[in-house]
């Protein structure tokens, strides 16, 4: 992989299905030139690496969203397994600490096509009381910024964060550090269970680099058209 990260296509479609058939049915109507795909814990636990290989064989870049969190050697070995699988992006919890992140990053150095390594900061499902209960002081936003800068200085390629947090994180991290944001909704569609959302274009303007979008595409009557509409919306943002 070259040192310049190719951000396009910026849309990562979240494949949140409980079975293979509907997921493959959706993917058969999508275009790898227009989107990448995210495979999370449920689909990976049900279908395993073979499913990821099937998607990659169709030409899609795969974000393996397994959010590793363990001792440094174990996380590094899991990241190496993801690299062997040929995924484009993999993630871990930044709260696993500097040593864990640095060890994982070093282990990926040996791969000619290494996956991008992305950190999870504070899960957006956690509020002020939740993080206090597990021993974090300060607000969720303060902790997001602190963990983002730790991830940046530990050699990670970026973090996952909400588009609303992107604006606070962007000035505190390197220019090339990627902000990957879920919680994105075109103005015309339902927010589903997402509470704090931004439109795709607003998210990019707020500092996001890549957009994780699920149901606005996966549950659309015409997923490819929905993907094209979002691409058209963000085209004004530039490359
Ligand atoms: O369907 P929707 O666009 O809401 O899907 C968003 C995807 O991003 C889901 O896979 C969800 O688990 C993931 N995600 C999120 N918010 C976070 C982290 C991940 O919505 N904070």
pLDDT tens digits along 95-136:
999 999 999 999 999 999 999 999 999 998 899 999 999 999
Catalytic residue among 67, 99, 172, 195: 67
pLDDT tens digits for range 37-87: 999 999 999 999 999 999 999 999 999 999 999 999 999 999 999 999 999
Domain spans of the chain, in order of start: 11-234
Of 236 and 27, more confident? 27
Evaluate whether 138 touches 117 at the Cβ level (below 8 Å): no
- Atom of ligand 1 minimally distant from the CA of 183: 20
Nearest residue by C-alpha to atom 15 in ligand 1: 182
Using the mean position of ligand 1's atoms as its centre, give its distance from the Cα of residue 50 in Å: 23
The secondary structure of 79-106 as a DSSP string is: HHHHHHHT-SEEEEEGGG-HHHHHHHHH
Q: Which residues pair with 14 in a beta bridge?
A: 38
Phi/psi of residue 119, nearest 5 degrees? -100, 150
pLDDT score for 2: 44
Q: Could you tell me the sign of the dihedral formed by the alpha carbons of 167, 169, 171, 173, in that order?
A: negative
Nearest residue by C-alpha to atom 4 in ligand 1: 214
pLDDT score for 212: 98
pLDDT score for 193: 86
CATH number of this structure's domain 11-234: 3.20.20.70
- Which residues line ligand 1 at a C-beta cut-off of 6 Å? 14, 16, 40, 123-124, 160, 182-183, 192, 194, 212-215
pLDDT score for 174: 97
Residue 67 appears among annotated catalytic residues: yes
Nearest residue by C-alpha to atom 8 in ligand 1: 182
pLDDT tens digits for range 182-226: 999 998 888 888 887 899 999 999 999 999 999 999 999 999 999
Question: Is it the case that residue 3 has pLDDT exceeding 80?
Answer: no
């Amino acid at each position: 992989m070259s040192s310049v990260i190719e951000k396009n296509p910026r849309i990562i479609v979240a494949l949140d299905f409980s079975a293979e058939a509907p997921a493959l049915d959706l993917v058969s109507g999508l275009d790898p030139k227009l989107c990448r795909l995210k495979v999370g814990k449920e689909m990976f636990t049900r279908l395993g690496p073979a499913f990821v290989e099937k998607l990659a064989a169709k030409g899609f870049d795969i974000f393996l969203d397994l959010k590793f969190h363990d001792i440094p050697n174990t996380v590094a070995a899991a990241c190496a397994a993801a690299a062997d699988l040929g995924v484009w992006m993999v993630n871990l919890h930044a709260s696993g600490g500097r040593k864990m992140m640095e060890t994982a990053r070093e282990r990926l150095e040996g791969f000619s096509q290494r996956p991008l390594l992305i950190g999870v900061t504070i899960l957006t499902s956690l509020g002020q009381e939740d993080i206090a209960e597990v021993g974090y002081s300060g607000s969720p936003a303060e902790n997001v910024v602190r963990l983002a800068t730790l991830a940046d200085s530990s050699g990670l390629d970026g973090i996952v964060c909400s588009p609303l947090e992107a604006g606070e994180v962007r000035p505190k991290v390197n220019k090339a550090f990627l902000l990957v944001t879920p919680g994105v909704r075109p103005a015309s569609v339902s927010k589903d269970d997402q509470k704090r959302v931004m439109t795709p274009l607003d998210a990019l303007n707020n500092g996001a680099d890549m957009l994780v979008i699920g149901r606005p595409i996966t549950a659309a009557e015409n997923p490819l058209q929905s993907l094209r509409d979002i691409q058209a919306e963000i085209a004004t943002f530039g490359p």
